[in-house]
């Protein structure tokens, strides 16, 4: 089911990556020196490391979750727990267990694909936005002609169009995942705190693994989005206080700067990832867990 939902936006995601690759090939060809070696670029290494880490983490998570569902198909939060034990015979078990594993794998793969998509996009645009477009840096990897008013306008508008395409493709998934992760992690924390003595070791390990993995995964993506938002604001401020070559350039960049907004991940005006979004997410997990404990009357 999760994979089917994700394929609805698969064409848009492929088109987004094609546009990102075409844009940065253009930047590399026109604004980078000929001595530039992509294999030594830090951004490429970060992309490779982060992608490999997410693949390994989610592979381990999928294998571990599937193994627990095979060995313990009647854990309290699984479909098998709804069926009375006397009816949970071998034929029923052979039907229910694959369904549970299929749903689990679909959710994990959908989350992984979305995470890799957002991570790849952010790692591609972050270096040029946070370093090369700022006017108060001491060292640049790109040529100086990138930082002329005409070129800055063209490049920043291109990045804004790429960001619109990215938010159109990823935005519909960001809001539901923000809601689902926050509620699900609070549920895992509550179960581990209140019912840990009544649960088996498999249940405790699975809930703890889910809570830790999804918390780390979503916190990392929100941190990347907040980092991009903060540095985009600094880019616009650097244009404001930079001394341009002539008064016409100053007026041009002043008008253009007022028409710009920081580049960040968002879904319309409903959800915008800013510098404090990750802190609000962590605060929501903490407050939600304690509120659940207080409501239940078991502290």
**pLDDT per residue as tens digits for the range 135-166:** 888 888 888 888 888 888 888 988 888 888 88
95-113 pLDDT, tens digit per residue, is 888 888 888 888 888 778 7
Q: How far apart are CA 175 and CA 131, in angstroms?
A: 29
Per-residue pLDDT at 283: 93
- In which region does residue 278 sit, left (phi positive, over 0), alpha (psi from -120 to 50) or beta (all else)? alpha
Q: 281 or 20: which carries more pLDDT confidence?
A: 281
Q: 216 or 85: which carries more pLDDT confidence?
A: 216
How many alpha carbons fall within 13 Å on the CB side of residue 176? 11
Spatial contact of 204 and 192, defined as CB atoms under 8 Å apart: yes
- Is 168's pLDDT higher than 80? no
pTM over 0.85: no
Helices 42-71 and 90-127: crossing angle in degrees, nearest 10, is 170
Per-residue pLDDT at 72: 78
Q: Which residues pair with 267 in a beta bridge?
A: 271
As a whole-number percent, the residues of the chain with pLDDT over 90 amount to: 6
Q: How far apart are CA 235 and CA 135, in angstroms?
A: 7
The pair of three-digit structure tokens given for residue 226, joined into one six-digit string: 């907040």
């Amino acid at each position: 089911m999760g994979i089917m939902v994700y394929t609805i936006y698969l064409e848009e995601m492929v088109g987004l990556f094609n546009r990102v690759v075409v844009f940065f090939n253009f930047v590399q060809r026109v604004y980078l020196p000929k001595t530039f070696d992509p294999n030594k670029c830090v951004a490429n290494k970060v992309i490779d490391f982060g992608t490999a880490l997410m693949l390994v983490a989610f592979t381990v998570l999928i294998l571990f979750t599937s193994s627990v569902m095979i060995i313990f198909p009647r854990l309290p939060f699984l479909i098998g727990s709804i069926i009375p034990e006397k009816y949970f015979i071998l034929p029923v078990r052979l039907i229910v267990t694959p369904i549970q594993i299929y749903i689990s794998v679909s959710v994990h793969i959908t989350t992984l694909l979305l995470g890799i998509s957002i991570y790849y996009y952010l790692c591609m645009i972050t270096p040029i936005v946070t370093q090369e477009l700022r006017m108060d840096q001491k060292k640049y990897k790109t040529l100086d002609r990138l930082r002329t008013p005409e070129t800055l306008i063209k490049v920043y508008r291109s990045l804004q169009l790429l960001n619109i395409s990215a938010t159109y493709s990823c935005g519909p998934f960001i809001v539901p995942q923000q809601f689902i992760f926050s509620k699900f992690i609070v549920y895992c924390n509550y179960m581990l705190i209140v019912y840990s003595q009544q649960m088996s070791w498999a249940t405790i390990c699975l809930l703890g693994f889910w809570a830790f993995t999804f918390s780390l995964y979503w916190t990392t993506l929100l941190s990347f989005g907040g980092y991009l938002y903060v540095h985009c604001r600094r880019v616009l401020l650097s244009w404001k206080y930079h001394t341009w070559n002539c008064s016409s350039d100053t007026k041009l960049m002043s008008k253009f700067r007022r028409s710009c907004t920081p580049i960040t991940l968002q879904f319309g005006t409903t959800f915008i990832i800013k510098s404090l979004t990750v802190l609000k997410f962590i605060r929501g997990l903490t407050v939600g867990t304690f509120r659940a404990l207080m409501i239940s009357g078991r502290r």
